[in-house]
Amino acid sequence: MFPHYLDANASEPIRPAALTATQQTLRVIGNPSSVHGAGRAARGVLEDAREALAALYGTAPRNLIFTSGGTESDTLAIHALGAARRVIAASIEHDAIRAAAPDAEHLPVDRHGVADLEALERMLRDGPPSLVCLMLANNETGVIQPVAAAAELCRGHGALLHTDAVQAAGRIRLSLAALGAHSLAISSHKLGGPAGAGALLLAPDADIATPLISGGGQERGRRGGTPPVAIIAGFAAAATAARSDLGTSSAANALAALRDRAEGAAVAEGAIVCGGGAPRLANTTCLALPGFRADAQVIALDLEGIAVSAGAACSSGKVRTSHVLTAMGLGALAGEAIRVSLPWNTAPADIDAFAAAYARMAARLRAARAVPPLDPTGAAHRLTPD
């Protein structure tokens, strides 16, 4: 049986246009740095992709640097923009940011998972020159952050702002220029392209003095190494297809409706929606089932043929208490939440299967524990009714 894949925030299934572009380009021989015909052909593909992505995400092609993915892009941003600056990172940032800036000061979030901009202003008001890291959409809850407002605050206080848009790209319309951020990270496989490429977009007033990966002068000396042209071609094709889906409100609304249906089914079994009171990505819901460990829920659902995750998919399957949910003040629930993230090609049957499996899972876990059933509407347990 093929699983019902509801773990898009770990990796989106590849979009058909991306698969075609990648397959075609894998057969292109040249190294884009070579001057002969084969090299020029590869370079043409690379630069077309750069132009397409730069146009979609609001920067000039020369200010888009291809990397190996989101983690490298985030690290490069902090390495380049954070040098000699205090780093302030939202307490819900991805581990890539947390690891690249281990000494960062934490910007708190409210109980809905939204960054506290009043706190940010206080931190910026009297502090040294800063780099602020605020992700555009959270990977666990899907909560969308007020990045444009934060960037405006930063610019008012001489601070720089980096936004990790890895989960947002392909799921909401976004533009570096419109956000007013100094840098923005995106990843191919999180928007329906193949894994193995990402990009860091820079505003005209930001630059990289020392690369993270030095090398043969590729990417204008800002990232060494032969770029993976076929992966990058798929990246651009996926981003273009994703934007086109966002342009037709029916596709975006359909995904939100499916997500809401999955969420409703879980809430009926007693689940609590983490971050449900804030604006969110249409594809994501974070569902805590009080009293039951997240890993037990994920394993039970996997046995039912439903692929979801407990918080972020990171290393070697270790399930931890979510730092994101802890930062939202959810206490014990932070170890009891699963992430359900719908891929672009989710079918209603996937949601039917999820709803039935979730109900069976909740019943089985409760029977095993002999915990009395919760209020079936779940309303009493919903932390985020607004």
Partner 1 sequence: MTKPPPRPNRPVYLDNQATTRCDPRVLDAMLPWFSEHYGNPASAEHRMGKEAEAAVETARTQIAALIGADAREIVLTSGATESNNIAIKGAARHAKRMGDDRRRIVTVATEHKCVLESVADLAEEGFEPVVLPVRPDGLLDPESLREALQVPTLLVSIMAVNNEIGVIQDIPALAAITKDTGALFHTDLAQAVAKIPVDLTGWRVDLASVSGHKIYGPKGVGALFVRRRPRVRIAPLFSGGGQERGLRSGTLPTPLIVGLGEACRIAALEMAGETARIAALRDHLLTRVREGIPAIAINGSTGARIPGNLNLTFPATPAAAIMERIPDLCVSTGSACSSAEVEPSYVLRALGLSDDAAARTLRIGIGRFTSPADIEYAASALMAAQDPLPGTHPDGNPPPGDP
Site for partner 1 in 272-311 (CB under 8 A): 295, 298-299, 301-302, 306-310
Active site residue 133: no
**Residues 6 or more apart whose Cβ sits within 8 Å of residue 21:** 230, 233, 234, 236, 237
Burial class of residue 383, CB neighbours in 10 A (0-12, 13-18, 19+): middle
213 binds partner 1 (CB under 8 A): yes
Please list every residue from 27 through 46 that binds partner 1, using CB under 8 A. Answer: 27, 29-31, 33-39
Q: In terms of Cα–Cα distance, which of 12, 7, 10, 14 is closest to 231?
A: 14
- Comparing CB distances to partner 1, the nearer of 98 and 364 is 98
How far apart are CB 12 and partner 1 at their closest, in Å? Answer: 7
Report helix, strand or coil for 134.
Answer: coil
- Which of 231, 267, 274, 287 is in the footprint of partner 1 by CB under 8 A? 231
Residue (123 or 301) nearer to partner 1, CB = 301
Stretch that binds partner 1, among 121-129, 142-150, 210-218, 377-385 (CB under 8 A): 210-218
Tell me the CB-side half-sphere exposure of residue 348, using CA atoms within 13 A.
Answer: 2
| Smallest gap from residue 381 Cβ to partner 1 (A) | 24
Helices (H), 66-116: 70-81, 95-100
H or E element that contains 264: helix 249-268
71 interacts with partner 1 by CB under 8 A: yes
Q: Least separation, in Å, of the C-beta of 238 and partner 1?
A: 12
Active-site residue, from 133, 154, 274, 314: 314
Tell me if residue 136 falls in helix, strand or coil: coil
Q: Does 48 bind partner 1 (CB under 8 A)?
A: no
DSSP sequence for 326-352:
HHTT-GGGGGSEEEEE--TT--HHHHH
21 binds partner 1 (CB under 8 A): no
Name the β-bridge partners of 174: none
CB of 336 vs partner 1, minimal distance in Å: 15
Considering the rule CB under 8 A, would residue 344 count as an interface residue with partner 1? Answer: no
Q: Which of 82, 180, 228, 270 binds partner 1 (CB under 8 A)?
A: 228
Q: Kindly write down the DSSP assignment for every residue of 162-231, as one continuous string.
A: EEE-TTTBTTB---HHHHT-SEEEEESTTTTS-SS-EEEEE-TT---SS-SS--SSTGGGTS-S---HHH
Q: Tell me which DSSP letter residue 291 carries.
A: T
Which helix (H) or strand (E) covers residue 124, if one does? helix 117-126
61 sits near partner 1 (criterion: CB under 8 A): no
Using CB under 8 A as the binding rule, whether residue 68 contacts partner 1 is answered as yes
Q: If we measure between CA atoms, which residue out of 94, 184, 144 comes closest to residue 282?
A: 144
Q: Is 70 in the site for partner 1 (CB under 8 A)?
A: yes
Q: Name beta bridge partners: 71.
A: none
Restricted to residues 234-263, the positions that interact with partner 1 (CB under 8 A) are 234
User: Which CB atom, from 12 or from 245, has the smaller least distance to partner 1?
Assistant: 12
Q: Which is nearer to partner 1, 21 or 330 (CB)?
A: 21
- Residue 29 or 178: the one with the smaller Cβ distance to partner 1 is 29
Nearer to partner 1, 112 or 235 (CB): 235
Stretch that binds partner 1, among 104-112, 155-163, 255-263, 315-323 (CB under 8 A): 315-323
CA distance 179 to 147: 7
Q: Does 326 bind partner 1 (CB under 8 A)?
A: no
215 binds partner 1 (CB under 8 A): yes
Q: Which of 52, 283, 315 is nearest to 190 (CA)?
A: 283
| 382 in contact with partner 1 (CB under 8 A) | no
Q: Which residues are catalytic?
A: 314
